[in-house]
Structure 1
Amino acid sequence: MQNEVVSREQWIEARRALLLKEKEATKLRDSINAERLALPWVKVDKDYVFDTPEGKKSLADLFDGRSQLLIYHFMLGPDWDAGCPGCSFLSDHVDGALPHLNHHDVTWVAVSRAPLDKIAAYKSRMGWKFPWVSSFGSDFNFDYHVSFSPEDLAKDKVFYNFTPMQPADANDELPGLSAFYRNDKGEVFHTYSSYARGPEELIGTLMILDRAPKGRNEDSTMNFVRRHDEYEEVPKAPSCCH
């Protein structure tokens, strides 16, 4: 359906009304960000070991000398042939941000349960540069509620996004983002986690599409997304000028 066509004056009036709501949303986002920063922290006492291209590393090692660590829980299970298309979509936006994050004392690392060789192969296929390590054999993914064993999925409920949910609605791997802080003593604290559509604002393409005339133009959440090497070439619309 084509939207209503109006005069420029009517459009300005409608746009100003929307601008008021956009400003409200911006202020609400600022308020939510402040509350996020004020959340209490949990000290991480458990020893987690990850497989990395440089060898075994602890959670504290993943900070790479910085005080803040963001971990993206990338859906790539031990027996998966390729990474989740949605996780891949988000990860396409990371490499350009890395210099800015690192300069701002933040390290970004993706973590999956797939073995390191499988991670390396998929990372090479996608052409990514960000650090990506394996938690295979570790409790890390299970403790942060993004991986589920067959025993978990056989239960009445599984815990995801801070809510019990039906196992039928869960996969053995689900996405999320977790934040950690390391102090001068070397102590590590879990400060924040977000799941499901929570990290959506990290996907710049969606934010751009929200400003396009057709928006996301989707039938369900991100149903249009493919891995970036799987899109069919779309013919361009014929030019009106010759």
Structure 2
Amino acid sequence: MNIHNHPVVSQEEWRAARKQHLANEKAFTRARDKLSAERRALPWVKIDKDYRFQGPDGKLKLADLFGDRSQLVIYHFMFAKGWDEGCSGCSFLSDHIDGANQHLAHHDVAVVAVSHAPFAEFQAFKRRMGWKFDWVSSEGCDFNYDFGVSFRAEDVAAGKATYNYEKSDGAEEELPGLSVFYRNEGGEIFHTYSTYARGLDLLVGAYNYLDLTPKGRNEEQIMEWVQLHDRYEEKASSSCCHRG
């Protein structure tokens, strides 16, 4: 719908239209609750491989990433060896992690970002972005490959590379995703869920705000307008808080 030629009606007509849309919103909420229940009911896969990561204090096992919690959410952050900056889309999503983590950390959930680059290579970028969440390296282990966010050249050549559960040409060196794990009282670890591509939208709170506005996401391609948060031009006059 053209925002510049939008229908304008009386308050009574608007309320009637809003109530009709509210019925659709409630149906969507019930459908989403059902989908979430189906997600929780998915079967699990036991993790037997000895994945090793690099953190600020040296080597870590997958179990170490849980801390004292039973649930672990890993964000597969696109940052490959030799990169100076992380992916702008991953950074957009990651800007939302610390706020959520203030609560998740107290509700039996650990959130950790994992990248394929050596640990030292993304520390300056993390400091620049001001992030506090845990971020470790999977360099030297199969983790990124096994969870479908990095691709070996031989798999690409053989047509075996997959992303988001479909065959991929592996043209991208790194791709984003999210994986969830559970650790039981016996210390066994299970993979419970992974999602990629548009499945990550749910984690981007800014999109939820935009979806409520007249212009919506206002993008022709996903995240085409997004920049690293320290690269947006300051527009002091755009906010009421800056009015003199």
Question: Counterpart of 1:80 in 2: which secondary structure?
Answer: coil
Q: Residue 196 of structure 1 corresponds to which residue in structure 2?
A: 197
The 3 A distance-change label for structure 1 pair 112 and 218 is same
Gaps of 5+ in 2: none
Question: Counterpart of 2:80 in 1: which secondary structure?
Answer: coil
Q: Residue 66 of structure 1 corresponds to which residue in structure 2?
A: 69
Q: Residue 53 of structure 2 corresponds to which residue in structure 1?
A: 50
Q: Does 1:212 align with 2:234?
A: no
Q: Does 1:93 align with 2:119?
A: no
The 3 A distance-change label for structure 1 pair 16 and 44 is same
Aligned residues between the structures: 239
- Aligned-CA RMSD value: 1.9
Question: Counterpart of 1:25 in 2: which secondary structure?
Answer: helix
Contact 1:119 1:134 in 2 (8 A): no
Give the residue type in structure 1 aligned to 2:139: F
TM-score normalised per structure 2: 0.93
Distance 1:113 1:156 in 2: 22
Contact 2:73 2:111 in 1 (8 A): yes
The 3 A distance-change label for structure 1 pair 235 and 214 is farther
Q: Percent identity?
A: 57
How far did 1:54 drift?
A: 1.5
Give the residue type in structure 2 aligned to 1:216: R
TM-score normalised per structure 1: 0.93
Contact 1:149 1:172 in 2 (8 A): no
How far did 1:149 drift?
A: 2.6
Within-5 A mapping of 1:112-151: 112-151=115-154
Contact 1:112 1:133 in 2 (8 A): yes
Contact 1:119 1:133 in 2 (8 A): no
Cα deviations across residues 129-164 of structure 1 (Å, max 9, x unaligned)?
A: 000000011100000000113333334452111111
Q: Residue 182 of structure 2 corresponds to which residue in structure 1?
A: 181
